[in-house]
Structure 1
Amino acid sequence: MALSSATSSLEETAIKIEDSGLPETKAIGTQGLRKQILRKGNSWQTPFPGDDVEVLFSGCVEGGECLYPSRDKGTSFRFKLGQNEVIKGWDEGVATMKKGERAVFTIPPNLAYGELGSPPLIPPNSTLIFDIEMLSWTTIRDITGDGGILKKITKEGEGWATPREADQVLVKYEARLENGTVVSKSEKGVEFNVGDETDCLCPALSKAVKTMRRGEKAELAVKFSYGLRQNRNEATEIDNGVPSDSNLSIELELLSWKSVVDVTGDKKVLKKIMKAGEGFDRPNEGSLVKVIYLGKLKDGTIFERKGSNEEPFEFTTLEEQINEGLDRAIMTMKRGEQAVVTVSSEHVDSNDVSGIAKEELFYEVELIDFIKDKPFWKMETEEKIEACERKKNDGNVLFEAGKFWRASRKLQSMLSLTMLSLMMRSLLQMPYGCHVI
């Protein structure tokens, strides 16, 4: 393609841009790179350094010959962004492109081949002009920062959320050795808890899923330090004779997950959300709540059943009417939420399960509705005094009984009410015109 025809093509494109109302040429960075968008992209995302990008392009030397007409040949060009596989102007320019975008880049010599040029087509100190169309890219992420787990997304997931520590995930995977031999494969989805590296095939799975969105598929390149472990509890059979120091290639798909909340902060009471609730409000201490719940032992034996759809069970939170762990878990729930609450034996007493030694308990619970305790700012003066006195007395009784967490809650609540009352009184006594900071 001669210079005259290349220049003519760019001039025609410029006229179309002016007529279409698309952005005019703009500077990229401070070293003279310029970009003129021919067609806007169809998303908001742009590639990151290290991503495998795929483009169509044509180009020419300003005042010279046509270069590398991949667009004319109908073949795409792939390279790793930001890895010096192409000229610097390409790395900087393509990094600004969205999927489906097409743009013309004017690249100065200092971002191209500089004083030396690239004989015979590119003379020294040449400015280059490229028409580039972004087809797609695949992200390669170094999950651990040491090259131990590299992830390439092969199918984008949905939404923005990713699993967090302790969440129960459902995945499908296929693990191979570097020579292609399959060493483990999940025919159906398998579940494990994020962070429990003994509960899945290898530590790489637990670490990788924390970076994935629902429905995402990815390829993992796993070094042996994050690969097979001898202490795993994962049920899928692994071919005999596979050494634990093998590097792996894993195809991983995140099907879904259930959020798990550490209610007490020490993993002694865990809440697994089975159905999300509505709104943002949750019961507080002293709320009147309506629930349906079923208590089970580890072997599935039902030891307690409370409430029904027709007549939910009513109780007041933190008044020792139900198991303390379950009580605290319900205070983290929203209206309509359904959850499975696991209570360790340390939060179980003889009143919870009569005739049975302390053991882990499981509750299937649904929060139907609740009415919060009357807020302090709605109370009359006498009500405030009574509330403080009641909380102080309740706290002292609980402290003497060795129930320190509940005692601290009562006393903290009493102190908060007292301090707020004093602050309100001070504000009301301030003279007009005083600035409150």
Structure 2
Amino acid sequence: MEETAKKDDPINPILKAGEEKDIGNDGLKKKLVKEGEGWETPKNGDDVEVHYTGALIDGTKFDSSLDRGTPFKFKLGLGQVIKGWDEGIKTMKKGENAIFTIPPELAYGESGSPPTIPPNATVQFDVELISWTSVKDICQDGGIFKKILVEGEKWQNPKDLDEVLVKYEVCLEDGTLVSKSHGVEFTVGDGYFCPAFAEAVKTMKKGEQVLLTVKPQYAFGEDGRSAVDSEGAVPPNATLHIALELVSWKSVAHITKDKKILKKILKEGEGYDRPFNGTMVQVKLIGKLEDGMIFVKKGHDEGSFEFKVDEGQVIDGLEKTVKTMKKGEHALTTIQPEYAFGSSESQQELAVVPANSTVYYEEKESWEMNAPEKIEASGKKKEEGNVLFRAGNIERASKRYEKAVRYIEHDYSFNHEEQQQSKLLKVTCNLNNAACQLKLKDYKQAEELCTKVLELESRNVKALYRRAPAYIQLVDLDLAEADIKKALEIDPGNRELKMGYQVLKEKMREYNKKDAQFYGNIFAKMNLQQANAAKQEQRTPMIIDSKA
């Protein structure tokens, strides 16, 4: 991004409406009538569109595009207009209106423009910059000019290793069609069709559409090209016009400095965070050999595969890859033997990996499961949590219940039956996790989990019963009593609820006694302080203001 002009910049001054300043040192003046939009200004080579009115210094009008009702278009900075225009209009923003006072040296000079403009005339132009189309010399040698027709998204550009998907149409200068495609994919560094393709896409953003003017050195040179299949011939030393759209691309990058782990992003992830050492990650992956044989498949049939980063639970190449990934990212990784299974043969889940094998892993997050897979994975995590809970491993059980809920957290795409299954799993897992939190003495978390259940089932007795002791520990006794009373209304014969109510009443009596004692002590101190203050007042003589 280029910096905006500084206030004292003589070439491109910042003006407020009504102000006039010099542009450069040759007598060109600019008076701002109306401010434009944004901060960008056109550059040399851009196609600009303006409305203008030209007049002599005494006010005599000699030309106006407004009178003709048609904007004037020209290429900026290429000498197609007087020098004062080329210098002045490149200081303007889109929508800006300014008056330029242009001395003869930058206007029509000693000869003028008879009969309307006399020799050595200073002229004024009232100019409105309607718009412009950027035209760039992308190789800085006049070989490829790029005109942006549709702006792209964000700011990233493809690199040499990336795989791009483009649409294009190639024509000769006379309009003869040479080649056309509605979608072709290629690696940027390898190029495609002619050298201009690779050079151009490296300057483009996703979704950008451009028109390229390609000189022979970036096309087919002095030899040209014969017709190939359905594609037309290109004559020697031919200039090409190429309409090119960068539809999308897959980022490809070396993960290690020795370039022995290559990652291709098939689907971008979310946010900015990536796993770090010690993080527990969930992935779905498929491992293949160079001949395509699958030697491992995890997280597809039995729910997401979990491992802790930097704990040596998987090969080094996988750990290094995962640490570069975002949540939800889907990637294809090529891992050379040094970061895979090395020089030894390895027996894997589905096949033997020969010594010195390069392996390929396709990895993706569990969010890519379909609804039945998510429900199945959630159920398995719930059962794992139940086993851990019964074994007394409460913290690990809690984490299993949390993971079970995460699988089905967003169930709006489920059908009716799947939503009912999802609801039952959410209720069960959140209730079980609430029981874990009560044992772990995280009463606030227990209360929140029970509240989530009650949002799904307002008459769930277990949720009311488990939220009540959380409220008691949080000293919200009125809320605890309300929960137990509501639970007893739903299930009046429940002995556990009745016992819980007795415990609550005893707690309330204890708190009431403590409150009475506490406030009694406060009132006693207040009464003593008031008595002492009264005695002090009796001893203090009244002071009379003699000036009254």
* Aligned ranges 1:259-298 → 2 under 5 Å: 259-297=251-289
Q: What one-letter code is carried by the residue in structure 2 that aligns with 1:45?
A: E
Query: How far did 1:332 drift?
Result: 1.1
Task: Determine the structure 2 residue equivalent to 1:88.
Answer: 83
Structure 1 residue 76, shift from structure 2 partner:
2.1
Counterpart check, 1:227 vs 2:219: yes
* Contact 2:51–2:129 (Cα < 8 Å) also in 1: yes
Give the AA of the match of 2:151. E
Deviates more, 1:69-78 or 1:273-282: 273-282
| Number of the residue aligned with 1:405 | none
Corresponding residue number in structure 1 for 2:194: 202
Amino acid at match of 2:33: L
2:308 maps to what in 1?
316
Deviations along 1:151-199, whole A, 9 cap, x unmatched? 112222233332233222111001123343322211x3111122222xx
8 A Cα contact 2:20 2:32, kept in partner: no
Structure 1 unaligned regions, length at least 5: 1-20, 230-235, 370-437
Q: For residues 10-89 of structure 1, what are the structure 2 equivalents within 5 Å?
A: 23-31=17-25, 32-63=27-58, 65-89=60-84
Deviation at 1:103, TM superposition (A): 2.2
Rounded to whole Å, the distance in 2 between the matches of 1:196 and 1:45 is 34
For 1:195 and 1:317, locate their aligned partners in 2 and report how far apart those are by CA, in whole Å: 33
Aligned-residue CA RMSD (Å)? 3.0
Residues 286 and 150 (structure 1 numbering): CA distance in 2 closer, same or farther, change over 3 Å?
same
Residue 296 of structure 2 corresponds to: 304
The answer (yes or no) to whether the contact 1:289–1:317 under 8 Å persists in 2 is yes
Structure 1 residues 325 and 244, CA, compared in 2 at 3 Å: closer, same or farther? farther
Q: Partner of 2:200: helix, strand, or coil?
A: helix
Query: How far 1:299 moved relative to its partner?
Result: 5.5
Instruction: Indicate whether 1:140 and 2:135 are aligned.
Output: yes
- For the pair 1:217 / 2:209, whether they are aligned, the reply is yes
More strand, by proportion: 1
Partner of 1:151: 146
Query: How much does 1:203 deviate?
Result: 1.9
Question: Structure 1 residues 337, 309: CA separation in 2 closer, same or farther (over 3 Å shift)?
Answer: farther
Aligned residue pairs, count: 340
Does 2:157 correspond to 1:162? yes
Bigger drift between 214-223 and 25-34 goes to: 25-34
Distance 1:158 1:74 in 2: 34
Of residues 361, 367, 370, the one that matches 1:363 is 361
Structure with larger Rg: 2
Q: How does 1:231-270 map to 2 (within 5 A)?
A: 237-239=229-231, 242=234, 246-270=238-262
2:125 alignment partner in structure 1: 130
Q: CA deviation at 1:358?
A: 5.0
Partners of 2:239 and 2:317 lie apart in 1 by: 43
Cα deviation digits, residues 323-382 of structure 1 (max 9, x gap): 33222111111233222222346644333762546554332213579xxxxxxxxxxxxx
Q: Please say if residues 278 and 335 of structure 1, whose CA atoms lie closer than 8 Å, have aligned partners that are also in contact.
A: yes
Q: Is the 8 A contact 2:156 2:205 kept in 1?
A: yes
Flag the 1:275–1:74 CA change in 2: closer, same or farther, 3 A. same
Please say if residues 21 and 31 of structure 2, whose CA atoms lie closer than 8 Å, have aligned partners that are also in contact. no
Deviation, structure 1 residue 28 = 4.2
- In 2, distance between residues paired with 1:344 and 1:183? 42
Give how far 1:137 is off: 1.7
In 1, the alpha carbon distance for the partners of 2:211 and 2:357 equals 41
Matches of 2:358 and 2:313, distance apart in 1: 19
Given the two structures, how large is their TM-score scaled by the length of structure 2?
A: 0.56
Higher share in helix: 2
Q: Does 1:184 align with 2:179?
A: yes
1:217-265 deviations in Å (ceiling 9; x for gaps): 1111223332259xxxxxx955375568644221101112222222124
Mapped to 1, the partners of 2:193 and 2:338 lie a distance apart of 31
Amino acid at match of 2:335: V
> Per-residue deviation at 1:78?
1.9
Deviations 1:64-105 (A, max 9, x none): 631221111112222221122222221121112222222222
Cα deviation for residue 47 of structure 1 reads: 0.6
**SS of the residue 2:67 aligns to:** helix
SS of residue matched to 1:118: coil
SS, match of residue 363 in structure 2: strand
Q: Superposition pairs for residues 305-344 of structure 1, below 5 Å?
A: 305-308=297-300, 311-344=303-336
Unaligned runs of 5+ in 2: 1-14, 222-227, 368-548
Distance in 2 of aligned mates of 1:321 and 1:328: 12
Indicate the SS of the match to 1:165: coil
Q: For residues 152 and 278 of structure 2, what CA distance do their matches in structure 1 show? A: 42
How many percent identity over aligned positions?
51
User: In the aligned structure 2, how far is the partner of 1:23 from the partner of 1:64?
Assistant: 21
